[in-house]
A and B are shown apart, each in its own frame.
Chain A
Amino acid sequence: MQRRAFVGTTLAALALPLPALSHRLRYGLTSVVWNARTDVLEITHRLHVHDVLRALVEHYDLRNPDLTDVRTLAQATLYTSKRFALIGEGIGRLTDVGAELAGEFVLVFQEAAVVSLPDRVRVRARMLMELFPEQQNQVNLHVNGVSRTVVFGQEDLERGVELGSSLG
C-alpha cells in the first residue's frame, strides 16, 4: 500500500511559527553530570522561558501560564521529561525532580541512580521540536572529567553516545 508522505505520524501541537528572529535562536541545552559523591546522574535542561511558555500554552491549553506558580513549573517539568530519555545499562529510570525559573530560562531537573556506569548510552532530546522547526537541543554528558556532546535537530531522533573507558 502506498502511503502519503506523512505516513503514520501524529502531530504534537498546533504550532504557530514565531517571527524569524535574528536574535533569539531556538536552542536548548541539557547537561548530564555524574555526581560521584552521590552516585547520581544529575540532568539539568535549560530552555528559554518564552519557548516553554509557548509549549505550555499548546500542550496544556493554558491561557496565560505563570512560571512562578508551582503547578506551571511542574507542567514544564513533565513537558520536558516526556521528550527526553537517557538509557544505559546500570542507569536507573529517570526521575522528575522539578523546575525553577532562572532569569530568561527555565531549568528542569531530573536524576537517575547509577548502579554502574555503562560504556554507551542512548539519548533522546526532542524538547520544543514540534513547535519550532529550527529548534536545536544540545546534550552534554560530563563523566569523570570527560565531556561528550550530541546535538539534536529535527531529523535526529535518538543518538548513541560512546562514553567508553572514560567512565572508569
Chain B
Amino acid sequence: MQKALLFIALVLVAGLVAAEQPVVDAAGKFRQLGTLLPTPNVYRNAAGAPGHGYWQQRADYKIDVRLDERQRRVSASETITYTNESPDALSYLWLQLDQNRFNANSLERRSEAAQQNSETEDSTYSFSRMRRDHAAADTEYGYTIESVKRGNRKLPYTIVDTMMRIDLAEPLAPGSEIVFSVDWSFNVTEQAAVNSRGGYEYFPETDTYLYYLAQWFPRLVAYTDYTAWQHKQFLGRGEFTLEFGDYEVAITVPADHVVSATGELMNAEAVLSDVQRQRLARAMQEQRQPVFIVTPDEAKANEQRRERGNKTWRFTATNVRDFAFASSRKFIWDAMIHEQDDTANPVVLVMSFYPTEAQPIWSRYSTHAVAHTMAVYSRFSFPYPYPTSQSVNTWKGGGMEYPMITFNGYRPELTEVNEDDEQLTYSRSIKQSLIGVIIHEVGHNYFPMVVNSDERQWTWMDEGLNSFLQYVAEREWEENFHEYEESQSVLDHVIEYMLSEKQVPIMTQSDSILQFGPNAYTKPTAALMVLRETVMGRELFDFAFREYARRWMFKRPTPADFFRTLEDASAVDLDWFWRGWFYGTDHVDVALTRVREFQVSSQDPDIEFAENRKQAQREMAEPLIQKRNREEGRETYVESRRELEDFYNEHDKFTPSNKDRNDYREFLDDLEDWERAALERAVREADYIYFVDFANVGGLVSPLPLAITYADGSTGSYDIPAEIWRRNPDNVTKALVSDKRITAIELDPLQQTADADRSNNYFPQRIVPSRLELYKRDEETRDLMADMLAELKAEKDDKKALPLKPGN
C-alpha cells in the first residue's frame, strides 16, 4: 500500500480522480439500446406492455382420437375453429405436422451427417442409428392425411416437410373465423429407437407398453405481428410457439388403460371405478400427502390383465396452447391438492402417473415437486391458472413440457444387494435430477405455456427465464441442492462458457445458436441471478419480473417487451446490462490492480515535515554500505573533524524553513472560510483516503462488490454500482474514505458477478490455487486414484462393438 501525505485539500480529491479517468469509449457499453430494439407500436408499447392494438389469433380444437394398441397407431378426426384476430386477410393457413420429422425422407433425416467414432478417426454407424433406421424401415412414420374439409367440401392442401398449407377459397377476413376438419393417422414411434419427444416405451419383462403422445395432432402455426407465419421447419431442436384455444378431446384407449391428459377429466363416472372416484374425492381434501388413486399393487395387477374392449376418456382444457396425453395399464396414480391465494383458481389438483419401474422414488417426490414448483413460480409471476398439474414418468431421463402435463424422467436403478438379491435404489444424483427436471418442466407451464414466447425464434425467453426460476425453486426445495462444493453456483458454472472464443450472443435466433445449452439455459440463468441479487436487488427485480409475467400472461411477448418492462417497473436503466449480457459475448473479469492510501495534510510544515521524515525513514532503507560502516565502527571524516559541520549537518530536508512557514500562511489566507473549516475538520478526524484502481479485463461491465478488512480486525463491505464504468469502461478508480485504516480489500467476495479470474481480486495479492491443484492437495485421494488408475490400465476393456467388415 502506498503511503503519502496529501498536500491538497480534500475538496480537490474528486478533481484528481476525474483527471485519472479519461473519457474513453464512453458511449459504447452504456449506449442506450435504441435501434437494437424494434420501434414501439400499437401492438407493443414503449413500456414493454401489450399496446392498445395488440392482437393474437385463436385456435379451438375438438379431437376424437383412438389408440390402436395392437398396431401401435393413432387415428383421429379433428375439427379446428380458427379465428383471425389480425388486421390481415389470410388466403391460406399453415398447420404443423411434427410427426413428419420421423419420416425417412424428412428434411431432418436427409440432412443428417454420418457419425464419427469417438476413439478412432473413422466414420461409424452406431447401434443406435441402426436401430432407428431399422424402425423406420419396418414402420412408416409421419402423418397419413385422410382428408381436409370445410363442411363437406374438400380443401386443397400442400405438405412441405413438417408444414401443411391449406388454401382457402377466399381469404379469411380480419375478425372472422373458419371451421374445418382434418382426418389423419400415424404410427406411434418407439421412443427409445427414434429419439422422439413422444411415442411408446415397451417393457419386455411384463410385455406392457406406456404411450405418451406429444406434438401428435396437426396444430395451427402461430401467426404474429412480428413475423407473420412462424413456419420454420421443425428440425428437432427449436421447439414451438402456438395459439391459445379451448380443447375438447375424446381419447379412446384399451379399457384397462389409465389416461393422463392436459385439462380436466369430464367423464370420471364412465372410466373410473367407484373406489377410484372415492379416492380422488379424498385427494381433493389432502394437501400434505398424495393419495393413491391407483395403488402400486393395483398397477402391478393391471399389468397382468388384458381387458377386451375400449373406453373413451373425455377431457376439456380452456385457454391452453397445446394438448398432450399419456396412456398405459402400467400407471400408478397419486394425487393431492395445491391451494393458492387466488379467488379465480384457489385449488389445483396435482397428480403423478408412473410405472412400477419408477418406484420408490416417484411416489415419494413427484407430486410434492409439482406442488413446490407452483408455490415458487406463482410468487414470481401469477397464480397457476389451470385446474390440474401433472407429472408423468415416461422415460429414464430428461423431460418435456405441455400444458397441465409434463413428461419427466429419472428412475431408480436395480442394485445388487447380495448374490441372490437385487433391489431398486436411487442415488442422490437421480433424486435431485428427478426433482430438478419436474421443477423445470412444470415451470414451463408458466413460461412459455402461459407467457407465450416464441421458442423457435428466441429460445432463452422460455428456457432461460424458466431455468432461472428452476434454480431459485431448487434452492428453496432444500439447501445445497445439486451442490457438493461451494464453487458449484450457476455463476461459477457459466464462467468457462463465457470465456470461450466462439460464443454467440443470447439474442441469437434459435437455429443459429452454438452451444445451445449454455447459451439458452445457463447464461440467461446467470444473468438474471446477477440482475436480481446484485444489480437491482430482490425487491425491485421481483416486482419488475412479476410485472412482465402478468402483462404477458396469455399473450405473446418478444425480448424487447421483457427488457422494457424490467426497466419500466424499476426505474433502473439496464440498457448496459442487456447490451453486455444478452447482445454481447464479453465475460466478467475485473482486476483490482492497485490501492493507494492517503490522509489529508494540514500543510503546516511544523507538523507535516516531521511526519514526512518518519515516513521516509519507514519507506527508504539506509544505504547498506553506510549501515555496515557504522556497525564496523568506521568513523567518517567529518565525524573526526566536527568543526567541518554546518547547518546542513544539523538539519535535513524535513526541517521547516521560514519560507515553508510563509507558504503555509499564504495557503491558509487563500482558502475560503468553508474550505478552511473543511480542512480543519479533515485534519482533526484524520480520515484515510484510498484510491482503488480497477481494470476491466473481461470487457463486460460489472458492479464491484467489495469486502474490506480494517487494521483493527473489523470488516465491512462497499458496493460500487456498474455505472462507475460509464465514462471509462476499461479502467476506473474509486475513492474510498475511511476513519479506520484498511489492510485488505477483496473484490466480489460472495462470488456474485461471475468473475472469471479471482486471482486478481485481492489486495494484497493472493495466490489462488487452481481446481486441479486443489484436487491434488488431498494426498489420500490422489494416491488412491493413482493406484486405481494403474490397476485399471492393466485390465482389458470389455467393449461391445458392432463388428463391421469391408463390403464385397
What 0/1 pattern do residues 731 to 773 of B give for CB contact below 8 A with A?
A: 0000000000000000000000000000000000001001111
Residues of A within 8 A of B463 (CB): 22-23
B496 near A35 (CB under 8 angstroms)? no
Q: Name the distance in Å between B106's Cβ and chain A's nearest Cβ.
A: 14
Instruction: Give Cα A38 to B399, complex, Å.
Output: 44
Which of B416, B799, B806 is A63 in contact with, Cβ under 8 Å?
Answer: B416
Instruction: Give Cα A61 to B122, complex, Å.
Output: 24
Does B784 touch A at the CB level, under 8 Å? yes
Which of B124, B196, B500 is A130 in contact with, Cβ under 8 Å?
Answer: B124
Residues of A within 8 A of B771 (CB): 42, 44, 107, 109
Does B551 touch A at the CB level, under 8 Å? no
A16 near B788 (CB under 8 angstroms)? no
Residues of B within 8 A of A59 (CB): 797-799
Which of A17, A149, A155 is B192 in contact with, Cβ under 8 Å?
Answer: A17
Which of A17, A24, A61, A100 is B775 in contact with, Cβ under 8 Å?
Answer: A100
Residues of B within 8 A of A145 (CB): 697
Instruction: Give Cα A126 to B781, complex, Å.
Output: 27
Residue among B115, B123, B432, B802 having the largest count of chain A Cβ atoms under 10 Å? B115
A24 near B397 (CB under 8 angstroms)? yes
Residues of B within 8 A of A10 (CB): 117, 120, 122, 124, 801-804
Residues of A within 8 A of B500 (CB): 138, 140, 147, 149
Residues of A within 8 A of B487 (CB): 102
Which of A42, A43, A104, A149 is B502 in contact with, Cβ under 8 Å?
Answer: A149
Which of B131, B503, B517, B799 is A25 in contact with, Cβ under 8 Å?
Answer: B517
Q: Known contacts A1-B806, A24-B517, A155-B114: does B772 contact A109 (CB below 8 Å)?
A: yes
A16 near B128 (CB under 8 angstroms)? yes
Residues of A within 8 A of B118 (CB): 12, 83, 126-130
Does B415 touch A at the CB level, under 8 Å? yes
Q: Name the distance in Å between A55's Cβ and chain B's nearest Cβ.
A: 9
A11 near B775 (CB under 8 angstroms)? no
Does B776 touch A at the CB level, under 8 Å? yes
Does A97 touch B at the CB level, under 8 Å? yes
Which of A2, A60, A64, A133 is B128 in contact with, Cβ under 8 Å?
Answer: A133
What 0/1 pattern do residues 32 to 66 of A give for CB contact below 8 A with B?
A: 01010110001110100110000000111101101
Residue among B396, B398, B399, B432 having the largest count of chain A Cβ atoms under 10 Å? B398
Instruction: Give Cα A147 to B394, complex, Å.
Output: 42
Q: Name the distance in Å between B458's Cβ and chain A's nearest Cβ.
A: 15
- CB nearest neighbor in A for B514: A151
Residues of A within 8 A of B437 (CB): 23-24
Chain A interface size, as a band, is 35 or more
A19 near B197 (CB under 8 angstroms)? yes
Does A156 touch B at the CB level, under 8 Å? yes
A7 near B782 (CB under 8 angstroms)? no
Does B270 touch A at the CB level, under 8 Å? no
Residues of A within 8 A of B81 (CB): none
Count of inter-chain pairs, beta carbons less than 8 A: 279
B483 near A103 (CB under 8 angstroms)? yes
Chain B interface: which of A69-77, A86-94, A113-121? A69-77
Residues of A within 8 A of B472 (CB): none
Instruction: Give Cα A5 to B115, complex, Å.
Output: 12
Does B113 touch A at the CB level, under 8 Å? yes
A156 near B515 (CB under 8 angstroms)? no
Q: Known contacts A111-B772, A136-B515, A138-B515: does B236 contact A20 (CB below 8 Å)?
A: yes
B775 near A98 (CB under 8 angstroms)? yes
A14 near B191 (CB under 8 angstroms)? no
B499 near A64 (CB under 8 angstroms)? no
Q: Known contacts A8-B806, A103-B482: does B502 contact A151 (CB below 8 Å)?
A: yes
Instruction: Give Cα A12 to B132, complex, Å.
Output: 17
A14 near B800 (CB under 8 angstroms)? yes
Instruction: Give Cα A158 to B117, complex, Å.
Output: 12
Which of A4, A11, A35 is B801 in contact with, Cβ under 8 Å?
Answer: A11
Instruction: Give Cα A25 to B658, complex, Å.
Output: 79
B119 near A12 (CB under 8 angstroms)? yes
Which of A6, A17, A98, A138 is B195 in contact with, Cβ under 8 Å?
Answer: A17
Which of B128, B394, B484, B497 is A101 in contact with, Cβ under 8 Å?
Answer: B484
Q: Name the distance in Å between B190's Cβ and chain A's nearest Cβ.
A: 10
Which of B129, B397, B697, B793 is A19 in contact with, Cβ under 8 Å?
Answer: B397
- CB nearest neighbor in A for B428: A68
Instruction: Give Cα A43 to B772, complex, Å.
Output: 8
- CB nearest neighbor in A for B125: A6
Instruction: Give Cα A82 to B697, complex, Å.
Output: 35
Which of A2, A37, A61 is B798 in contact with, Cβ under 8 Å?
Answer: A61
Does B172 touch A at the CB level, under 8 Å? no
A42 near B433 (CB under 8 angstroms)? no
Residues of B within 8 A of A107 (CB): 771, 775
Instruction: Give Cα A19 to B190, complex, Å.
Output: 11
Q: Name the distance in Å between B652's Cβ and chain A's nearest Cβ.
A: 43
B409 near A19 (CB under 8 angstroms)? yes
Instruction: Give Cα A97 to B20, complex, Å.
Output: 47
Residues of A within 8 A of B501 (CB): 140, 147-149
Residues of B within 8 A of A44 (CB): 771-772
Residues of B within 8 A of A111 (CB): 772
Instruction: Give Cα A10 to B804, complex, Å.
Output: 6
Does B193 touch A at the CB level, under 8 Å? yes
B484 near A18 (CB under 8 angstroms)? no
Residues of B within 8 A of A97 (CB): 772, 775-776, 782, 785
Instruction: Give Cα A139 to B807, complex, Å.
Output: 36
Residues of B within 8 A of A78 (CB): 789, 792-793
Q: Known contacts A6-B804, A10-B120, A44-B771: does B792 contact A74 (CB below 8 Å)?
A: yes
Q: Name the distance in Å between A51's Cβ and chain B's nearest Cβ.
A: 9
A35 near B116 (CB under 8 angstroms)? no
Residues of A within 8 A of B792 (CB): 71, 74-75, 78
Instruction: Give Cα A38 to B432, complex, Å.
Output: 38
Does A29 touch B at the CB level, under 8 Å? yes
Instruction: Give Cα A14 to B482, complex, Å.
Output: 30
Residues of A within 8 A of B429 (CB): 49-50, 67, 101, 104
A21 near B115 (CB under 8 angstroms)? no
Does B298 touch A at the CB level, under 8 Å? no
Instruction: Give Cα A4 to B798, complex, Å.
Output: 27
Which of B397, B488, B770, B793 is A103 in contact with, Cβ under 8 Å?
Answer: B488
Q: Name the distance in Å between B255's Cβ and chain A's nearest Cβ.
A: 28
B residues 493-538 with Cβ under 8 Å of A? 496-497, 499-503, 514-518, 521
A6 near B123 (CB under 8 angstroms)? yes
Q: Known contacts A10-B801, A11-B801, A66-B427: does B116 contact A77 (CB below 8 Å)?
A: no
Which of A126, A151, A155 is B515 in contact with, Cβ under 8 Å?
Answer: A151
B789 near A15 (CB under 8 angstroms)? no
Does B400 touch A at the CB level, under 8 Å? yes
Instruction: Give Cα A43 to B807, complex, Å.
Output: 41
Residues of B within 8 A of A156 (CB): 116
- CB nearest neighbor in B for A26: B517
Residues of B within 8 A of A49 (CB): 429
Q: Name the distance in Å between B426's Cβ and chain A's nearest Cβ.
A: 10
Q: Which residues of A contact B (CB under 8 A)?
A: 1-25, 27, 29, 31, 33, 35, 37-38, 42-44, 46, 49-50, 58-61, 63-64, 66-67, 70-71, 73-75, 77-78, 82-83, 96-104, 107, 109, 111, 126-131, 133, 136, 138, 140, 142, 145, 147-151, 154-158
Which 8 interchain pairs have the tightest Cβ spacing? A21-B398, A4-B807, A149-B501, A126-B118, A98-B785, A11-B802, A25-B517, A74-B788
Between A and B, 30 residue pairs with Cβ closer than 8 Å are A4-B806, A7-B806, A9-B125, A9-B804, A16-B127, A17-B194, A18-B397, A20-B398, A21-B398, A21-B399, A21-B400, A23-B398, A27-B518, A29-B497, A37-B767, A42-B770, A44-B771, A58-B800, A60-B798, A98-B782, A100-B775, A101-B484, A104-B432, A109-B772, A129-B117, A133-B129, A140-B499, A140-B500, A155-B114, A157-B116
With A20-B195, A104-B432 known, 11 other A-B pairs at CB within 8 A are A11-B127, A18-B396, A22-B239, A50-B433, A60-B798, A63-B415, A97-B775, A101-B484, A102-B484, A140-B500, A151-B515
